[in-house]
A and B are shown apart, each in its own frame.
Chain A
C-alpha cells in the first residue's frame, strides 16, 4: 500500500501514451491525452495523502483535526481546468484539420504538406 497508487499512476501513463502513439483517429488520440493527464491528478492526490486524515474542511469538524494536505488539492483543481481548456482547443484544431485535409488519421496527416 505504500507504493501501489504510484504503480497505478505509472500504468495509466503508459497505457495513455500507447494510445496516443498508435492511434488512427484524431479524436481517439485526444481522448488518450485526457487519460494521460488524469494520471497526474492521482499522483498529486497520492502525494498529499495523510493516513487517517479527514478532508480539509472545518465547517462541522473541530478546527485542528488532522487533515490531508490541501495544497495539492488546489494544484489538482487547476490541473482539471487546464485539461478542459486544452481539450477544447485541440478539438477545434481537429475540426479544421478535417475540413482542410479530409482525413482524421494522424499517420496520413503527417505526410500531407500544406
Chain B
C-alpha cells in the first residue's frame, strides 16, 4: 500500500504530468499526419530515454502512443484518409458522417470512445499483469522455449494472409538477434569481422531505422500533402460546407449513450485481441466494427455515417494500448512493435521485462500503471480543446517534415552511444525496412524475432543440457505441451479462416 501511495505521488508530480501531456500533444499530431504513426514518435524518443527521468520518459512514450491512436481518426473523419493503419476502419462511417453534416459529432464520438476503450484496457492490464507474472514464475527453460515458439508463430500467422512472408521476416529478426555473440558461451559469431558488432546489433538504431527511417522512405514518397489538399478541394466542390448546420452537429449525452454499447463491444474486443502477440490495432478495429454491426439495433445504418460505426473501431483500436503490454509485463515478450520499443526503453532504464519485473521494480511499474490511467483524461482534455487545430496539421508539407524527422532520428541515435557504427546500422535497417515493406513483408515479426531470439536460443540449449540424452525432454512439461497444442490449433484455425476468405473472394 505504501508503495502504491509513493507511486501515485511520483505519477502526479508536475514533471511527469507535463511530459505526459507533451507526449499526448505530439502523439495526436503525429497520428493526424498520414504516413506517420505512434511507432515513429516513440522510436525517435528512444535515444533520449537516458537523458530524461524514467517516469517522465515512460509518461511521454505513453502519451505519444495513446495520442497517436486517436490522432489517426482525425484525418480519417475529416478527409477520408486514415492517419494511421488502425484508423482505416473509422473511414467507413466517420467520413460519411462528416459528409452528412456531422463532423463534430463524429470526431467527438471518436474521442470519447477512444478514451473509454483505453481506460478499459488499462484496468484489465493492471488486474491481469500481476497474476500472469506469478504464473510465469513457474516457467523454466522448456516452458519459455514453448512460449517463444507460440508467440513467434502467432505473430507470423496473424499477418493477414502473408504467413510465409511473416515467417521469413521473423527468422530474419532471429538472424539479426544472433549476430554478435552466442548467448550461452559468448563465442563471437556473425559479426563479419567488425569489432563493434561483437556485442551484437544495437537495439536503438535497429528499431529507429526499421520503424522511423523506413516509414519515411515509404510513406513520404506518396506525397501525402497533395493527396490531402486534393481531397479538401473535392469536398469544397461538393458544397458540403455550404449545407453545414452547426446546431444539428452538437454532441450530447444522448448521442454518447446511444453509442455506448458499440464502444464497450470495441473495448472488450480490442483488449482481447491486443493481448495476443502480433494481432495489432487495425485487426482489433475491423473486428470491433464487424461485431458492433452484428449486435446493433440498426445494422443497416453502418457504412452510411452511423456513429456506432465510428465508436466501435475507435474503442477497439485504442483498447489495444493497455492490452499490448500484458505479454510484455508478464512474460517479457513484446506483443507488438510498440511494445517492443517500450521493452527496449525499460531495458535502457535497467528494468528487464518479464515475470520478475513487477517484484523487482514495483515502484516504477506502479507509477507506470497510474500514468496509464490518467493519461487518458489528459488526452480527453487536450484533444477536446485542440481538435480544430489537429485537422490542419495533416496539411503540413512533407518537404519540411521529412528532413526534420530524419535529422532527429540521426542525432538521437548517435547521441545514445556516440558510435558511428550505430548510424550505419540505422541507415541499413531503414533501407532493409523499406525494402521489406515494399515487398509486403511485415515488420512486427522481425522485431519480435530480434528481441526474443537470444532468449529462445538460451532456453532451448539450457533445456537440452538439462534433459541430457532424453530427446523428448522438450515435450515433458504439461505447460509446454499446452503451448505447442495452442500453436497447432492457431495454425489450423488461421489457415481455415484465411482460406475461407480467399475462397469467398474468388
Q: Do A and B interact with each other, yes or no?
A: no
